[in-house]
Amino acid sequence: MQAIKNFIIKNVSKTFLAYMILVYRYNRKYKNILKTLIFSIKALFHFYAPNKKLLKGTQIRKLFSKVKIEINEEDRFVYNIDIFKTIQRDNRIMDNVTVDYSKILNSSLNEMKKINENMKDCDYKNGQRDLLIGIEEYIDRECKEIEKSNINNKEKLIQYLKSIKDKKAIGFEESIQRILFFNQLLWQVGHGLNGLGRLDKILGDKYEQDLKSGKITRQDAKDMIKDFMKIIHQKFWYKSNVLMGDTGQIIILGGKELDGSYFCNDLTYIFIEAMEEVQLPDPKVFLRVTDKVPRDLMELSLRCIKTGIGCPLFSNDDVIIPILIDFGYDKQDAYNYVTAACWEPLMVGKAVEQNNIDSIVYLTPLTEMLEKEDLDKIETYNQFVCKYKEYLKQYIINFVKELNEITWEEAPLLSLLTDDCNEKLMDVAYGGSKYNNYGATSVSLGTVVNSLYNIKKFVFDEKEYSLKDINEIRKNNFENNEELLNKLKQQPIRYGIDNEEIIDLTNEITGFVDEVLDTQKNRLGGKIKFGFSAPTYIIKAGTSPASFDGRKNGEAFGVHISSDKPSVAYTELIQFASKLDYDNHRFNGNVIDFMITPSFIESNFDKMVDFLILSITLGFFQMQMNVTSSDILIKAKANPKEYENLIVRVWGFSAYFNDLPESYKDLLIERALKNEGKSY
């Protein structure tokens, strides 16, 4: 059996695998065997991947020459992705990145070509040259298709596209079209989960100029942004990664300036207003905040969140920026940070850091320790924690070793748009960018903290069980031991509450991981950072055995920075999160995750705004809210057709509730019930 498996892995072509992924994504969207069968036959005839023996830039040029260009005559802008065309790859592709769209707006292909012409002759130069020619040829093909179409303002759109060759973008509308053009190219060559950057800042001057000249009105700008959002949302089933809606298309708004002031402009408000009005789960909006954020901007944000679309997510610059600088990022870059796919800080245009490369599972070394050690020889709680740290250290070292076995596919388009690559004549895949760090996420931190606390209480303090006996019960999945299971699960002192012992234990564990990672480098010479939030709280938990927090085999881990204690006060969770240490390597996304009902916000709107502003001052890192009720979720699961547009927050993105697997639906319902003090 293993020999057959090895044969299949060795001989199935990369192109066929890419084809099967495409068919899988289509079926995930429509869940219809007949439609999927018809689609798969069509895909066989249209699927194309260029010769992987060519330079990667040459491959992309050939790919662009084969892309079928379709003009949607109902759209204001042109945006085209041919789902049947891809690049063959032998290695892992770089994604989870946001390119610097301000660089794209303020430059032209001719300027990029001049830089290329002055390079020393090498494969990097030749690949980039072919890539630039391929982009020019693609523009010409797109313009021809626009000319043949009946789309409105075709002359204007053709002018916008042709100006990419030799001019900077001038106006607001043209700038949006240019962003869309390069965004479609990124998706076309396979760079998924790509963000959209600080669009209020990038587009602010263009907006103000056009507004003052009378070229557009505020409403015109909002309509354009709404059209932009709708177009970006197209084919989200194809763009989605693991789950539907997981596209990484995040718009960053607001932020702290170098002089300490708070940046926002009229576009900041317009983007949030537009998001509230279009009511789409994707793209996402991410608001950088400080203690100087205007109250009316927080009010607008809360009104948007109250609709249930799950955004904006809040990111606290007062906490994050100093940590970024201490870690080693230049001050200018740190103040201009964006995020990777969900919430992980990223230096825009300076790095292709893989900030969601894998998840640290804190429970794994604890389980390994319990399996391998002679538990009768562990006589004190301190010995128990020290022994766990031994296994945790080796786990982290092995974790880094596995990361460093990853080889990256060359990425000429990302290299073209990333600083330092041209100077080094080096693709981002080999460390060409200014920063080359990796970012890991974390799951089961709360599980381990609760487990250690419970072991201390029941084994070493109260001596109600021996370590060996309680572990045997755990290994048997608490079968016939409901009393112990409930004791462990219902302990009032738990991860996510404002308790000094729990906070110190959490900081002790993450601080230990931080120390281990301080001795490690990745294969590109960069550091490895980690955060306390992760998208894998169900996936990784599925193969994890029972734990001493009262979790049974395969049950989900806690979601980000949250509490599994019923009806925990929001203020208490904020106090807990604000006392965690996020310094050194510990800043790769740390999100407080609230479940909250729409009626609660409605009844306490002004108090909620006060709470958010106070929370910024207290020092949370990041925050998101899932605004729904258990009643709505239960009805939506039972009657999906009646709730087709119900949006919920998942991981660091929003999605239609009906598109989620049953396990995610059930977890959302369970969390909502706990938040409301009810039982499932």
Name the nearest CA neighbour of 449 among 575, 580, 341. Answer: 580
Provide mean pLDDT across the span 381-404: 98
Distance from C-alpha of 81 to C-alpha of 233, rounded to nearest angstrom: 12
CB atoms within 10 A of CB 381: 17
Look at residue 9 and tell me whether its pLDDT is greater than 50: no
Provide mean pLDDT across the span 380-409: 98
Distance from C-alpha of 508 to C-alpha of 515, rounded to nearest angstrom: 10
Looking up tokens 């205007």 gives: 294
Q: Tell me the torsion sign for CA atoms 485, 490, 492, 494.
A: positive
Distance from C-alpha of 517 to C-alpha of 449, rounded to nearest angstrom: 20
* pLDDT score, position 381: 97
Tell which wins on pLDDT, 427 or 245. Answer: 427
pLDDT band at 45 (very low <50, low <70, confident <90, very high): confident
Look at residue 4 and tell me whether its pLDDT is greater than 50: no
* pLDDT score, position 19: 75
- Fill in the amino acid letter for 101: Y
Mode of pairing for the β-strands spanning 262-263 and 255-256: antiparallel
pLDDT band at 25 (very low <50, low <70, confident <90, very high): confident
Distance from C-alpha of 58 to C-alpha of 63, rounded to nearest angstrom: 9
pLDDT band at 457 (very low <50, low <70, confident <90, very high): very high
Provide mean pLDDT across the span 87-99: 90
Query: Residues 583, 323: contact at Cβ < 8 Å?
Result: yes
H helices present in 55-152, as ranges? 56-66, 101-105, 109-117, 123-148
pLDDT band at 30 (very low <50, low <70, confident <90, very high): confident
Name the nearest CA neighbour of 305 among 597, 534, 592, 528. Answer: 597
Q: Would you give the DSSP letter of residue 438?
A: E
CA-based radius of gyration for the chain: 26
- Span 560-602, pLDDT tens digits: 999 988 888 899 999 999 999 999 999 999 999 989 999 999 9
Average pLDDT, the chain: 94
CB half-sphere exposure, 250, CA atoms < 13 A: 33
Query: Residues 254, 262: contact at Cβ < 8 Å?
Result: yes
Look at residue 196 and tell me whether its pLDDT is greater than 90: yes
Residue 400's φ and ψ, nearest 5 degrees, are: -65, -40
CB atoms within 10 A of CB 328: 11
3-state secondary structure of 594: strand
Look at residue 29 and tell me whether its pLDDT is greater than 90: no
Q: What percent of the chain has pLDDT over 70?
A: 97
- Span 213-270, pLDDT tens digits: 999 999 999 999 999 999 999 999 899 988 899 999 999 999 999 999 999 999 999 9
Beta bridge partners, 258, equal: none
The matching CATH number, chosen from 3.30.300.180, 3.40.109.10, 1.10.580.10, 3.20.70.20, for 54-340 is 3.20.70.20
Provide mean pLDDT across the span 452-473: 97
Look at residue 537 and tell me whether its pLDDT is greater than 80: yes
Look at residue 322 and tell me whether its pLDDT is greater than 50: yes
* pLDDT score, position 679: 65
- Span 337-366, pLDDT tens digits: 999 888 999 999 999 999 999 999 999 999
* pLDDT score, position 40: 80
Q: Which residues contact 47 (CB under 8 A, 6 or more apart)?
A: 15, 18, 19, 22, 84, 85, 86
- Fill in the amino acid letter for 583: D
pLDDT band at 10 (very low <50, low <70, confident <90, very high): very low
Query: Residues 620, 319: contact at Cβ < 8 Å?
Result: yes
- Span 473-521, pLDDT tens digits: 999 999 999 999 999 999 999 999 999 999 999 999 999 999 999 999 9
Residue ranges of domains in the chain: 1-47, 54-340, 359-405+437-596, 628-680
Q: Is 51 exposed, middle or buried (0-12, 13-18, 19+ CB in 10 A)?
A: exposed
Name the nearest CA neighbour of 541 among 443, 429, 402, 441. Answer: 443
pLDDT band at 11 (very low <50, low <70, confident <90, very high): very low
Name the nearest CA neighbour of 586 among 508, 655, 473. Answer: 508
pLDDT band at 464 (very low <50, low <70, confident <90, very high): very high
Q: Which residues contact 501 (CB under 8 A, 6 or more apart)?
A: 453, 493
Query: Residues 571, 596: contact at Cβ < 8 Å?
Result: no
* pLDDT score, position 173: 98
Helix (H) or strand (E) holding 654: strand 653-656
- Span 598-631, pLDDT tens digits: 999 999 999 999 999 999 999 999 999 999 999 9
Tell which wins on pLDDT, 652 or 318. Answer: 318
Tell which wins on pLDDT, 532 or 152. Answer: 532
pLDDT band at 13 (very low <50, low <70, confident <90, very high): low
3-state secondary structure of 50: coil
Query: Residues 355, 589: contact at Cβ < 8 Å?
Result: yes
Name the nearest CA neighbour of 585 among 532, 534, 651, 622. Answer: 532
CB atoms within 10 A of CB 567: 10
Query: Residues 437, 526: contact at Cβ < 8 Å?
Result: yes
Name the nearest CA neighbour of 94 among 524, 425, 527, 517. Answer: 524
Distance from C-alpha of 618 to C-alpha of 498, rounded to nearest angstrom: 13
Distance from C-alpha of 467 to C-alpha of 375, rounded to nearest angstrom: 6
Q: Which residues contact 215 (CB under 8 A, 6 or more apart)?
A: 171, 172, 209
* pLDDT score, position 14: 64
Distance from C-alpha of 340 to C-alpha of 96, rounded to nearest angstrom: 5
Q: Which residues contact 527 (CB under 8 A, 6 or more apart)?
A: 327, 328, 437, 438, 517, 520, 521, 585
pLDDT band at 534 (very low <50, low <70, confident <90, very high): confident
Preceding amide of 312 cis, omega within 30: yes
Q: Where are the beta strands (DSSP E) in 338-468?
A: 338-339, 345-346, 359-361, 438-443
Distance from C-alpha of 299 to C-alpha of 304, rounded to nearest angstrom: 9
- Whole-structure pTM value: 0.94
Look at residue 385 and tell me whether its pLDDT is greater than 60: yes
Helix (H) or strand (E) holding 46: helix 33-46
Provide mean pLDDT across the span 461-467: 96
Name the nearest CA neighbour of 319 among 582, 671, 608. Answer: 582
